[in-house]
């Protein structure tokens, strides 16, 4: 294509020499060879990015093109922002990241979309069939991406959770396996107090009490963000399902309720007991997720709910704290010993009303190039693996030990059960009320059922008619 344009351009120059300077280099990019592979583990410097841009046949976009990308806090990692700079050097397209606090994000997004989505090119959202249909309404608000090459390389489970009726609407680049929310614990604190990894709630509670008696706060729980403490409840889906096989299907068919489930009630009663006994510490309600690394690095807390990447994050922020100071085990509420896995994750969507759809597609294509995915994995401490083919992960001994210990896996309930994930922040508010005595565990379950019913009726779900 570029060769034809060049010949045509030359012919025009011969015919009309007076207009030889009318076309800019950006309008007629020279044909060049595609590079074989870019460095995978080094941050893209400006000089290197310039050289690569000169060696890459990048699509031409209007000068000054900017993609406005809105997302919730913690969804856009530093590595993506670094890659976005490289993308701008290659294409001239600037990515304007607008990061919104997690407790405000969905209200802001909903308001913007209802107002016509002005100023949005890319928006973030949680994948999961219920979420993308009810909360994001992707059939109206997102550009179909089924024909994009990278869809074939994305993990099929991730593709399933970002698709409706066979149409893929978003891009998920996340650690959906190593990103499981598990308990990260300080191995030295456990060893110093002769504590073994607990396999039951009774053993877990005893470990917490021993740690507290030793003058260390057992668990760092950031309640202030409004979302994190919900993990203790909904990530326990595998044990709810094990106690009552087929429960998720029954809930989705409106043949069962949360309020009638004894295992859920047990888990919530145990969680309330942990709070009442001070296992989260005196400052739990004001703790913030952003301070997790510091809290764990200082040794003031023995455990926290996080993922495989936390030890690496801690070591990166505090080099004197070795990564192998920390190990992993599953959340043992209701005696759970099943690995909780969630194929859904923070994802990116191109707004259907964007004037820059092709530039946004080019950005998605750029992020999913194997060398850029590898760069993201190699340089993002939070990620131990990625949900794409062709990306090489290197597990630490502690990560591998966890995977060897917990062979059985189950899907978390915010993904397995319809109309749950969209009410995440609402569940968080009622849980906080439960901890402070303004609500009971029974209230949490009943309120969850009511919100599910409201959403199902609004969606015209035949199971609720």
pLDDT digits (tens, 9 = 90+) for 229-248: 999 999 999 999 999 999 99
Average pLDDT score over residue span 250-255: 97
Average pLDDT score over residue span 36-53: 44
Residue 418 above 90 pLDDT? yes
Confidence of residue 127 (pLDDT cuts 50, 70, 90): very high
From the list 366, 335, 363, the residue with the least C-alpha distance to 350 is 363
Average pLDDT score over residue span 380-384: 89
**Residue 4, exposed/middle/buried by CB under 10 A (0-12, 13-18, 19+)?**
exposed
Average pLDDT score over residue span 131-160: 95
The tokens describing 275, both together, are 């709070």
Whole-number pLDDT of residue 117 = 77
Whole-number pLDDT of residue 19 = 38
| All residues at 6 or more sequence positions from 276 whose CB lies less than 8 Å from its CB, including other chains | none
202-224 per-position pLDDT tens digit? 999 999 999 999 999 999 999 99
Confidence of residue 9 (pLDDT cuts 50, 70, 90): very low
| All residues at 6 or more sequence positions from 238 whose CB lies less than 8 Å from its CB, including other chains | 336, 338, 339, 340, 408, 409, 410, 411, 412
pTM above 0.85, yes or no: no
Confidence of residue 38 (pLDDT cuts 50, 70, 90): very low
For 249-263, the three-class secondary structure string (H helix, E strand, C coil) is HHHHCCCCCCCCCHH
In this prediction, what percent of the chain has a pLDDT beyond 70?
A: 87
Average pLDDT score over residue span 185-200: 98
**Residue 94, exposed/middle/buried by CB under 10 A (0-12, 13-18, 19+)?**
middle
- Residue ranges with strand state E in 163-272: 163-164, 167-168, 170-171, 182-186, 217-220
Query: Residue 295 phi/psi, 5° resolution?
Result: -60, -40
User: What is d(CA 441, CA 438) in angstroms, rounded to the nearest whole number?
Assistant: 10
Whole-number pLDDT of residue 59 = 60
Stretch among 74-88, 107-121, 427-441 having the lowest mean pLDDT: 107-121
The tokens describing 96, both together, are 């304007």
3-state secondary structure of 419: coil
Better-scored residue on pLDDT, 31 or 271: 271
Residue 126 above 90 pLDDT? yes
| 402 conformational bin, left if phi > 0, alpha if psi -120 to 50, beta if neither | alpha
Residue 5 above 80 pLDDT? no
Confidence of residue 54 (pLDDT cuts 50, 70, 90): very low
> CB 48: neighbour CB atoms within 10 A?
15
Whole-number pLDDT of residue 382 = 86
Confidence of residue 4 (pLDDT cuts 50, 70, 90): very low
Whole-number pLDDT of residue 10 = 39
């Amino acid at each position: 294509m570029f060769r034809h344009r060049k010949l045509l351009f030359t012919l025009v120059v011969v015919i009309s020499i007076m207009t030889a300077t009318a076309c800019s280099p950006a309008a007629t990019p020279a044909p060049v060879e595609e590079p074989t592979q870019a460095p995978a583990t080094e941050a893209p410097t400006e000089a290197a990015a310039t050289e690569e841009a000169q060696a890459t046949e990048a699509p031409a976009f209007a000068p000054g093109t900017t993609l406005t990308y809105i997302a919730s806090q913690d969804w856009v990692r530093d590595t993506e922002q670094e890659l976005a700079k490289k993308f701008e050097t290659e294409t001239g397209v600037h990515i304007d990241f607008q990061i919104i606090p997690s407790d405000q994000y969905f209200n802001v997004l909903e308001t913007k979309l209802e107002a016509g989505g002005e100023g949005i090119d890319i928006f973030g959202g949680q994948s999961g069939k219920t979420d993308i249909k009810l909360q994001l309404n992707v059939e109206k608000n997102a550009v179909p991406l089924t024909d994009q090459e990278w869809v074939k390389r994305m993990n099929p489970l991730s593709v399933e959770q970002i698709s409706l009726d066979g149409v893929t609407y978003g891009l998920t680049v996340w650690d959906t396996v190593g990103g499981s929310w598990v308990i990260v614990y300080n191995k030295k604190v456990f060893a110093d107090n002769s504590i073994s990894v607990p396999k039951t709630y009774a053993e877990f509670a005893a470990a917490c009490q021993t740690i507290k008696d030793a003058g260390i706060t057992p668990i760092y729980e950031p309640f202030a963000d409004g979302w994190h403490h919900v993990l203790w409840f909904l990530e326990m889906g595998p044990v709810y399902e094990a106690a009552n096989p087929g429960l998720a299907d029954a809930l989705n068919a409106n043949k069962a309720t949360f309020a009638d489930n004894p295992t859920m009630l047990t888990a919530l009663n145990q969680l309330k007991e942990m709070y009442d006994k001070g296992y989260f510490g005196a400052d739990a309600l004001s703790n913030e997720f952003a301070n997790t690394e510091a809290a764990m690095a200082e040794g003031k807390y023995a455990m926290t709910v996080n993922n495989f990447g936390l030890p690496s994050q801690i070591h990166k922020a505090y080099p004197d704290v070795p990564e192998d100071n920390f190990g992993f085990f599953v959340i043992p509420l209701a005696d759970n010993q099943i690995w909780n896995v969630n194929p859904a994750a923070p994802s990116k969507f191109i707004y259907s009303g964007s004037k820059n759809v092709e530039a946004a597609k080019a950005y998605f294509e750029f992020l999913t190039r194997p060398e850029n995915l590898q760069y993201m994995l190699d340089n993002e401490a939070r990620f131990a693996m990625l949900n794409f083919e062709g990306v090489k992960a290197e597990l630490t001994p502690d990560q591998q030990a966890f995977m060897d210990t917990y062979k059985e896996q189950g899907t978390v309930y915010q993904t397995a059960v319809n109309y749950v994930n969209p009410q995440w922040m609402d569940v968080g508010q009622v849980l906080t009320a439960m901890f402070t005595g303004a609500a009971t565990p029974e209230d949490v379950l009943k309120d969850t059922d009511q919100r599910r019913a409201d959403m199902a009726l609004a969606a015209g779900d035949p199971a609720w008619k």
